[in-house]
Amino acid sequence: MTTQANTPLMPKATAVWLVENTALSFDQIAAFCRLHPLEVKAIADGEAAQGIKGLDPLNSGQLTREEIERAQRDPNHRLKLADRKVKVPEAKRRGPRYTPVSRRQDRPNAILWLLRNHPELKDAQIMRLVGTTKTTIQQIRERSHWNAANLTPMDPVTLGLCSQLELDLEVERAARSMPRREGDDPNAATLIPVEETTAEQALEAYGTLRDREDQREAEELDADKIFAKLKSLKGPVEDETEE
């Protein structure tokens, strides 16, 4: 992969060291280590990577002190990996992922974590990440696994079952393959603002009330005209009877 060359060795361990020994922002550390800023914040708060020992990127030749100082002075500067003196060829994996025997008992916990935190991942992607089978994934999803009551969601990166880069790539692929939702389309139809709907309803109600008042006034005027006509007709009749 071309992206692996731009990623430091042991990203989480490097992030732990940068959090503890520099004044870099979470965004700068996250961009350099290819982590999420919230994950870096969790490391700073002691909520993540508690058992990971920090890896000094200066001793490993991944960063220079000048680069770190420049990034501390400029919050918008993004750290760049130093040129590696030795090019390590990328190991290409063939066939299913091999999981050490000591880590195999952690796979169900990692599967449960992936199902809860990344439901967009397909079964084939989970199989590639943690080296499991589709049957096991289905059992954990349906909670029919023999040890379902004792499972605890655990990050597969922390468990060492996969790298953060591999997880990010699979999540990115899953996000690209998901269908676009209606809310993501800027041209999609949206609801009318509440101010407009309530204003329109108020105008309609006011118009109806006004029409009723006008009709009532018209009826009262008509009644006055009728009484006036009756009085005018009644007057001559009374005069003739008196004569």
- Pairwise CA distance, residues 41 & 49, whole Å: 11
At 85 the pLDDT is: 57
What's the pLDDT score for residue 101?
55
- The tens digit of pLDDT for each residue in 188-210 reads 444 444 444 444 555 565 556 56
- The better pLDDT of the pair 46, 88 is held by 46
SS (H, E, C) the chain: CCHHHHCCCCHHHHHHHHHHHCCCCHHHHHHHHCCCHHHHHHHHCCCCCCCCCCCCCCCCCCCCHHHHHHHHHCCCCCCCCCCCCCCCCCCCCCCCCCCCHHHHCCHHHHHHHHHHHCCCCCHHHHHHHHCCCHHHHHHHHCCCCCCHHHCCCCCHHHHCCCCHHHHHHHHHHHHHHCCCCHHHCCCCCCCCCHHHHHHHHHHHHHHHHHHHHHHHHHHHHHHHHHHHHHHHHHHHHHHHHHC
pLDDT, residue 139, reads 93
Gap between the Cα atoms of 116 and 125, Å rounded: 14
What average pLDDT score do residues 69-97 get?
A: 71
How confident is the model over 115-133, as pLDDT tens digits? 999 999 999 999 999 988 9
Q: What mean pLDDT value characterizes the chain?
A: 76
Does residue 77 contact residue 139 with C-beta atoms inside 8 Å?
no
Residue 18: is its pLDDT beyond 90? yes
CA distance 216 to 210: 10
By the 8 A CB rule, do 67 and 18 touch? no
Place 113 in a pLDDT band, splitting at 50, 70 and 90.
very high
Mean pLDDT of 43-71: 86
Mean pLDDT of 104-110: 86
pTM of the model: 0.39
Q: Please give the pLDDT value at position 197.
A: 44
pLDDT above 90: residue 59: no
